[in-house]
Amino acid sequence: MYINLSGLNILVTGASRGIGKAISTKLAEAGATIALHYNKNVREAENLASILGNESKAFQADLSKPDEAAKLFERVVLEMGSVEILINNAGIALSSPISASDDDWIKAWDETMMVNLTSASMLCKKAIHHFLQRKASGRIINISSRAAFRGDQAEYLAYAASKAGLVSLTKSIARAYGKEGIKAFVVAPGFVRTDMALEFMEQYGEEHAKGDVALERLTEPKDLAPLVTFIASGMADHSTGSTFDVNAGSYMH
């Protein structure tokens, strides 16, 4: 199957490494121009933009701050002219046990919600407004987690709750704006071998992470990229509002 995304500008958050990097690479291979969002990894993001070509560019924003998401979207539109597809991939998973002080626990909760849900929601808002203003179709792909459906470890209550909120947000966008040509999708990975997963593996061990998967190996970022590229192509538009599970058979619903 040949997928041609030439002429499309795609904003990918958390694009400098891991899942975001793999997605961005596959999208660029299909011809898209990528707006690569990063927070701290400036060298990695700029190097990746150079490698991807297609006039791809890196954009910095700290999505743990309330006003950064809106400013990010506006900068991308200003520099690239338009955005046809938004991929909310940036996320954090902060370990916060119930034994933590109330102040520390709520601080971790608020930061997790800001990055994983509030900033993602603002980017969705900006994208929807942009699509409607241009009277153009658009797609939003939100990277959630199996944790949204099956829950997570006790230390990651905020992570699971934030990812569940992202699923509900996506379904609501799909229902509300489908007739305006706006489609929204969820991709829900299970445990993925990334830098972000290192803390979990150090805490619980790799065998724990591998223990409930049905396949022979843990999911890697490259395993998600083809699916996201397929959704971005428009060939899955009649699945708007749906969740695509990529979790090596560790959770089925």
Catalytic residue numbers read 159
What phi and psi, each to the nearest 5 degrees, are found at residue 186?
A: -115, 135
92 and 113 Cβ atoms separated by less than 8 Å? no
Q: What is the dihedral of CA 57, 74, 92, 231, to 10 degrees?
A: -70
Q: In what order do the strands lie in the sheet with 85-88?
A: 57-60, 33-38, 9-12, 85-88, 138-143, 182-189, 243-246
CB contact set of 42 (below 8 Å; sequence gap of 6+): 58, 60
DSSP-based three-state secondary structure for 18? helix
CB-count exposure of residue 241 (10 Å: 0-12, 13-18, 19+) = middle
Alpha helices in the chain (DSSP H): 18-29, 42-52, 68-80, 102-113, 119-134, 147-150, 157-177, 198-204, 206-210, 225-232
What phi and psi, each to the nearest 5 degrees, are found at residue 142?
A: -105, 125
